[in-house]
Amino acid sequence: MSTVADHQSIAESLPTGQVAAALVDLEAIRSNTATVRRRAGDAELIAVVKADGYGHGALPAARAALAGGAGRLGVAFLAEALALRAAGVEAPVMAWITVPGDAFVEAVGADVEIALGSPWALDAVEAAARELGRPAQIHLEVDTGLGRGGATAADWPDLLRRVAPLVAEGAVQLVGTMSHLACSDVPDHPSIAAQVEAYRDALAQLERVGLRPGLRHLGNSGAALAVPQARFDAVRPGVALYGVSPSDDVPPGHWGLRPAMTLLARLAHVKHVEAGQGVSYGLTHHTTAPGWLALVPLGYGDGIPRHASDLGPVLLGGRRQRIAGRVCMDQVVLDLGETPARPGDVAVLFGAGDLGEPTVQEWARVAGTIGYEIVTRIGARVPRLYRGLT
């Protein structure tokens, strides 16, 4: 159990009058990036800042990652890449999910690198390049076993035949060749060796048609940290940069990572009730003795998992508490028993854990999910307050 003094040091981070906030430690992101880069050896680091920087803020996270040694950035969608460009980010940015009718012309014009694994996407990129009179920068994506994006082994040769003349002509520039691992969070999983072999075969086919693969990248956070054979020329870490472990069984501190987000809220209401008082929808919780109930103004509308009903851990006044009853859209309730509290007191839902507060990994465990989801789902109603780098 943390001391009240420890809790106070966290609570004071929430400005007076602020209902709730996600504190984001940009120095932690910078440091985590440097740590992952060291572990990845000679591989270049493509810092993944998709989904608004895993909920931490894409632009601040991108700047912190670049300060930590990332050479490039990665996002899922063209709109995310274009937003970074509009904000003044000049580092190479790649995006790997596109749909017909997407902003290909704008992306090519902004020097966004576009990953593709299908003929229709290649046609769209070529058309954008010809309309602008400038080459498009592309990454070819091959499906080595994940069964998600990328060309299958059967479709890969035809895609290469289509790409080769466009590269020779200068209509497109092949910046990189990519795939994605299915089980990098389990370093000894047999699928890793199979995917590495399939990826090497795809690279060999590419070279046989006279293409150079450019930057070869297959590994994500798990591979960057613990799968050397999957690192190649570059790695694409995402969640590790934010101090969340890619493995459910390994804490982030094992890798020297520090969680970057702390979620706080002020109590909105406190009241004394009698034994047997039902709490929240469905009355799944009842008080066992006279005591205090406290209302925390965060709910599933803010990203608190409803699956954490009756389970979610919270630090209040230096003591661990647990959500009582169901998570509501805008609030949760704590059954404090005989421990008093006051409106305005600060509850800590999760943080780095070194002062006794719950961690993202704990929340993921009780909610039956992964740490990625816990931080990424924190909604726009919760302001991000940044500290560390400027």
Provide the CATH number for the domain around residue 97. 3.20.20.10
Q: Are residues 287 and 209 in the same domain?
A: no
**Residue pair 217/195 in contact by the 8 Å Cβ criterion:** no
Q: Are residues 13 and 69 in the same domain?
A: no
Give the pLDDT score at 4. Answer: 66
Of the three residues 193, 220, 236, the one that is the final residue of a domain is: 236
Rounded distance between C-alpha atoms, residue 230 and residue 196, angstroms = 6
Rounded distance between C-alpha atoms, residue 181 and residue 177, angstroms = 14
* Domain count along the chain: 2
For residue 380, is it within any domain? yes
SS3 318: coil
Q: Are residues 210 and 278 in the same domain?
A: no
pTM: 0.96
- Find the domain containing 383 and state its range: 4-22+260-387
List the CATH number of the domain containing 339.
2.40.37.10
HSE of 120, CA atoms in CB hemisphere, 13 A: 7
Give the pLDDT score at 324. Answer: 98
Q: Are residues 53 and 11 in the same domain?
A: no
For residue 245, is it within any domain? no
Rounded distance between C-alpha atoms, residue 6 and residue 319, angstroms = 10
Q: Are residues 122 and 227 in the same domain?
A: yes
For residue 204, is it within any domain? yes
β-partners of residue 322 are 313
Burial bucket for residue 274 (CB in 10 Å: 0-12, 13-18, 19+): exposed
Q: Are residues 216 and 189 in the same domain?
A: yes
Q: Are residues 48 and 172 in the same domain?
A: yes
For residue 241, is it within any domain? no
105-to-101, 102, 126, 352 alpha-carbon distances in Å: 10, 9, 10, 42
For residue 34, is it within any domain? no
* Per-residue pLDDT in tens (0 to 9) along the chain, 390 residues: 456 667 777 888 899 889 999 999 999 999 999 999 999 999 999 999 999 999 999 999 999 999 999 999 999 999 999 999 999 999 999 999 999 999 999 999 999 999 999 999 999 999 999 999 999 999 999 999 999 999 999 999 999 999 999 999 999 999 999 999 999 999 999 999 999 999 999 999 999 999 999 999 999 999 999 999 999 999 999 999 999 999 988 999 999 999 999 999 999 999 999 999 999 999 999 999 999 999 999 999 999 999 999 999 999 999 999 999 999 999 999 999 999 999 999 999 999 999 999 999 999 999 999 999 999 999 999 999 999 986
Q: Are residues 265 and 225 in the same domain?
A: no
Rounded distance between C-alpha atoms, residue 181 and residue 84, angstroms = 26
Give the tens place of pLDDT for each residue, 253-264.
999 999 999 999
Q: Are residues 81 and 9 in the same domain?
A: no
Rounded distance between C-alpha atoms, residue 299 and residue 276, angstroms = 24
Of the three residues 170, 202, 236, the one that is the final residue of a domain is: 236
Q: Are residues 281 and 231 in the same domain?
A: no
Rounded distance between C-alpha atoms, residue 245 and residue 299, angstroms = 24
Question: What residues are annotated to the active site?
Answer: 50, 281
Interhelix angle for 58-67 vs 78-86, to 10°? 70
Give the pLDDT score at 249. Answer: 87
For residue 27, is it within any domain? no
What are the φ and ψ backbone dihedral angles of 79, each rounded to 5 degrees?
Answer: -60, -35
What's the alpha-carbon Rg for the chain, to the nearest Å?
Answer: 24
Q: Are residues 200 and 327 in the same domain?
A: no
Name the helix (H) or strand (E) containing 108: helix 104-109
Residues 6 or more apart in contact with residue 275 via CB below 8 angstroms: 287, 288, 289, 290
SS3 202: helix
Give the pLDDT score at 17. Answer: 87
Q: Are residues 61 and 140 in the same domain?
A: yes
- Which one-letter DSSP state was computed for residue 301? G
Beta strands in 13-170 (DSSP E): 20-25, 44-48, 72-77, 93-97, 113-116, 136-141
For residue 377, is it within any domain? yes
For residue 308, is it within any domain? yes
